[in-house]
A and B are shown apart, each in its own frame.
Chain A
Amino acid sequence: DSGVTQTPKHLITATGQRVTLRCSPRSGDLSVYWYQQSLDQGLQFLIQYYNGEERAKGNILERFSAQQFPDLHSELNLSSLELGDSALYFCASSPRGGDFAEAFFGQGTRLTVV
């Protein structure tokens, strides 16, 4: 158990809809990262938050957004969903944001868009 909790584990929704994925980092970790894992793109970094502020952006679509709350949990919002958004979405956390620190991953949310 990595200590990172993601909910829900599975999500099935229709095209055009909006969903919210939730992540609770390990106790004390300030950084949260979101990754998308799909068959064609592999593991892609989406976005990082550090202590409530956006720190880095990767290959995140404009239809996607995220935030980190004062209690350090994070949410990834996906809107106007398309079939191609079907993927496994991972959250990871680490103690700090800028120096070396290993990341601990949650078990992921499997999103299926039908």
Chain B
Amino acid sequence: GDSVTQMEGPVTLSEEAFLTINCTYTATGYPSLFWYVQYPGEGLQLLLKATKADDKGSNKGFEATYRKETTSFHLEKGSVQVSDSAVYFCALSDNGGATNKLIFGTGTLLAVQP
């Protein structure tokens, strides 16, 4: 079945450092890809999305490009802030199926130190 694999955390960075969180997927169809963020004590918030190959999703300085050839959707940010500390989830949704339920990776904890 469809699945998402994320790099293990925690990831600890200093403020203004460059961030990459790796995400690869396995899917039989043509999924949409998402990054969700979960701040401490809160629900999941959609950070960015891409619906087809070569699409780039971006929001709040974060970017991710849908790479079909490498089945990847890595999250990047050029300069992280302490306020970016959270758990980041990569997810996919099966387009065109009977449901667009999300399949999540295990999540990656990011801790940014001042």
Contact = CB atoms under 8 A, between A and B. Distances in A.
Contact of B98 (A33, A55, A92): A55
Interface stretch (B7-15, B37-45, B67-75, B78-86): B37-45
Interface residues of A, number: 29
Contacts of B93: 100
B99 A48 contact: yes
A98 interface: yes
A48 B32 CA distance: 18
A106 interface: yes
B32 A104 contact: no
Interface residues of B, number: 25
Interface in A57-84: 58
A56 B51 CA distance: 21
Of A94, A103, A106, most B-chain CB atoms within 10 Å: A103
Contacts of B43: 2, 4, 90, 105-108
A58 B98 CA distance: 13
Interface of B: 32, 34, 36, 42-46, 49, 51, 89, 93, 95-107
Given A48-B99, A104-B46, 9 more contacts: A45-B102, A50-B99, A56-B98, A56-B101, A90-B43, A97-B99, A99-B96, A102-B46, A105-B44
Interface of A: 2, 4, 31, 33, 35, 42-43, 45, 48, 50, 55-56, 58, 90, 92, 94, 96-108
